[in-house]
């Protein structure tokens, strides 16, 4: 007769379950201990990205002295070249050749320091070497007439392009800055005090486009801001010395191209640059709009100026729909609406006599600023936008200043009464809305 499997006693089963529970507890405790001792990959990445805070002494020694040293060496070299030129130590070919050889030698020597990890000093030597090359090429064209203007310009472009490519491969914003400085100094070094509008602004457009390409790929929005400032300086300088009405069409074309180029910066900049240096991109948008408005005032009469301002308002409203810096584009568009209608009011009264236009024109300006400020403020409450509300409040403050400083002095008594009554009623209504606190602003609301 076959016997069955041995019967499991309840006491044995309970003991096995207790042993299993003890083993699981030991394993869980070991896992918790290992997790506490070993940092997670996210923590390791964050620790690797964290850099020790640099002291004032370190910044002074490594950065400030570095920049001042570059400038001092360039000034010393330029002064030495002047002495060599005055005392005729070398012939013209020898002087230029010595400068070019020294510049190329410094740039080659800088690679030795780069290989040993001294990047900052290596880039400083490259800056000095590039400065020598620019000075030598300038001397070859301007002082000794060894090369033609196009040849000197092409050689400087080659130097700028070489440093720019090196900045691209090394992912170095500092080298890109050095390349930009050389590139934007080239027209000044090659200036012969003649009007070369097409060549100058075509070159600046290409240089700006290259800088914005680096911004898009590498995320260096400060380079875009520098390019914009340099272009504006050249534009203002050229207009002050060379602009005539016969150049209106070409000038308008270049002004439009520059406007479109820099308006595209927020859409081409990388996400990383938008978050790391978010304040620079709105600054570029606003400065670009201000320069566009100033250009329209410079180029156009009153009525065309009003039309251009309203056209620019429509352009920035369209940009706001793309969801990139929407708030900044909306505020900019509102500013162009304010300017466009203001120009239109000026145009309406431009043909009137001084006696007729004085009172009516000032009342129209005051009324328009009050209405616009109230509308923008209402839009800010409706859209729950602090930026719009602040814009409306600023325009209303301008209205207050105008009523008290201008209208009170220039208007007749009847118009003064109307101006102050209208302003007072509007301000009381605004005050009532804020006292009602419909948006809970007293609770520390932070809205975009």
- Weakest mean pLDDT among 24-33, 40-49, 364-373: 40-49
Q: 79 in the Ramachandran plot: left (φ > 0), alpha (ψ -120 to 50) or beta?
A: alpha
| pLDDT higher at 405 or 394 | 394
Task: Give the pLDDT of residue 93.
Answer: 82
- Weakest mean pLDDT among 165-169, 313-317, 358-362: 358-362
Measured distance between the N- and C-terminal CA atoms of the chain, rounded to whole angstroms: 88
pLDDT by residue (tens digit) across 99-134?
A: 888 888 888 888 877 787 777 778 878 888 888 899
pLDDT by residue (tens digit) across 35-93?
A: 555 544 443 444 444 445 666 666 666 666 766 776 676 677 667 766 766 666 667 78
Q: What angle do CA 292, 397, 445 make, to 5 degrees?
A: 95
Task: Give the pLDDT of residue 270.
Answer: 61
Residue 304 clears pLDDT 50, i.e. is over it: yes
Task: Give the pLDDT of residue 429.
Answer: 75
Chain position carrying tokens 């308008």? 252
Task: Give the pLDDT of residue 88.
Answer: 65
Residue 153 clears pLDDT 60, i.e. is over it: yes
SS3 helix, strand, coil % of the chain, rounded to 5?
A: 85, 0, 15
- Weakest mean pLDDT among 97-101, 148-152, 298-302: 97-101
Measure the CA–CA gap between 14 and 431, rounded to whole angstroms: 78
Mean pLDDT of the 262-288 span: 77
| Contact yes or no for 245/298 (Cβ under 8 A) | no
pLDDT by residue (tens digit) across 334-364?
A: 999 999 999 999 998 886 665 556 677 888 8
| pLDDT higher at 65 or 241 | 241
Q: What is the DSSP letter of 60?
A: I
Task: Give the pLDDT of residue 354.
Answer: 57
Q: Which two tokens stand for residue 359?
A: 């009172």
Residue 256 clears pLDDT 80, i.e. is over it: yes
Rounded mean pLDDT of the chain? 81
- Weakest mean pLDDT among 82-91, 213-222, 281-290, 426-435: 82-91
Task: Give the pLDDT of residue 415.
Answer: 65
30: Cα within 13 Å, side-chain hemisphere: 6
Which band of pLDDT confidence, cut at 50, 70 and 90, is reported for residue 174?
Answer: confident
Q: What percent of the chain has pLDDT over 90?
A: 35
Task: Give the pLDDT of residue 40.
Answer: 47
Task: Give the pLDDT of residue 2.
Answer: 46
Residue 389 clears pLDDT 80, i.e. is over it: yes
| pLDDT higher at 328 or 48 | 328
Q: Read off the pTM.
A: 0.74
Task: Give the pLDDT of residue 318.
Answer: 95
Task: Give the pLDDT of residue 33.
Answer: 67
Which band of pLDDT confidence, cut at 50, 70 and 90, is reported for residue 447?
Answer: very low
Measure the CA–CA gap between 397 and 377, rounded to whole angstroms: 12
Task: Give the pLDDT of residue 57.
Answer: 64
The DSSP line for 223-288 is: HHHHHHHHHHHHHHHHHHHH--GGGHHHHHHHHHHHHHHHHTHHHHS-HHHHHHTTTHHHHHHHHH
Task: Give the pLDDT of residue 352.
Answer: 66
């Amino acid at each position: 007769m076959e016997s069955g499997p041995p019967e499991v006693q309840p006491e044995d089963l309970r003991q096995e379950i207790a042993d299993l529970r003890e083993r699981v507890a030991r394993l869980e405790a070991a896992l918790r201990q290992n997790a506490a001792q070993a940092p997670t990959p996210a923590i390791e990445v964050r620790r690797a990205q964290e850099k020790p805070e640099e002291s004032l002494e370190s910044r002074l020694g490594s950065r400030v002295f570095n920049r001042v040293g570059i400038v001092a060496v360039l000034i010393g070299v330029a002064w030495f070249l002047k002495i060599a030129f005055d005392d005729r130590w070398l012939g013209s070919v020898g002087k230029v050749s010595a400068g070019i050889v020294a510049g190329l030698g410094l740039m080659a020597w800088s690679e030795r320091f780069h290989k040993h990890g001294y990047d900052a000093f290596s880039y400083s030597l490259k800056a000095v070497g590039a400065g020598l090359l620019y000075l030598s090429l300038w001397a070859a064209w301007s002082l000794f007439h060894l090369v033609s203007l196009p040849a000197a310009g092409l050689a400087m472009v080659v130097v700028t392009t070489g440093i720019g490519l090196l900045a691209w491969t090394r992912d170095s914003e500092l080298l890109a800055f050095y390349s930009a400085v050389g590139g934007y100094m080239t027209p000044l070094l090659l200036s012969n005090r003649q009007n070369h509008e097409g060549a100058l602004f075509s070159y600046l457009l290409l240089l700006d486009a290259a800088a914005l390409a680096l911004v898009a790929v590498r995320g260096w929005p400060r380079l875009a801001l520098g390019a914009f400032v340099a272009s504006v300086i050249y534009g203002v300088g050229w207009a002050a010395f060379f602009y005539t009405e016969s150049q209106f069409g070409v000038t308008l074309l270049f002004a439009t191209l520059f406007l479109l180029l820099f308006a595209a910066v927020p859409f081409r900049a990388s996400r990383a640059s938008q978050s790391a240096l978010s304040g620079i991109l709105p600054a570029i948008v606003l400065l670009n709009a201000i320069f566009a408005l100033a250009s329209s005032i410079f180029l156009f009469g009153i009525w065309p100026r009003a039309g251009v301002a309203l056209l620019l308002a429509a352009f920035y409203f369209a940009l706001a729909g793309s969801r990139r810096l929407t708030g900044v584009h909306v505020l900019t568009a509102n500013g162009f609406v304010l300017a466009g209608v203001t120009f239109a009011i000026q145009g309406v009264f431009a043909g009137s006599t001084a006696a007729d236009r004085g009172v009516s024109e000032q009342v129209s300006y005051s009324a328009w600023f009050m209405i616009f400020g109230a509308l923008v403020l209402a839009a800010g409450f409706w859209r729950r936008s602090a930026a719009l509300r602040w814009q409306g409040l600023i325009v209303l403050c301008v209205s207050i200043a105008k009523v008290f400083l201008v209208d009170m002095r220039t208007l007749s008594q009847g118009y003064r009464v109307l101006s102050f009554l209208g302003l007072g009623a509007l301000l009381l209504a605004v005050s009532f809305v804020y006292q009602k606190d419909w948006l809970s602003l007293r609770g520390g609301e932070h809205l975009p």
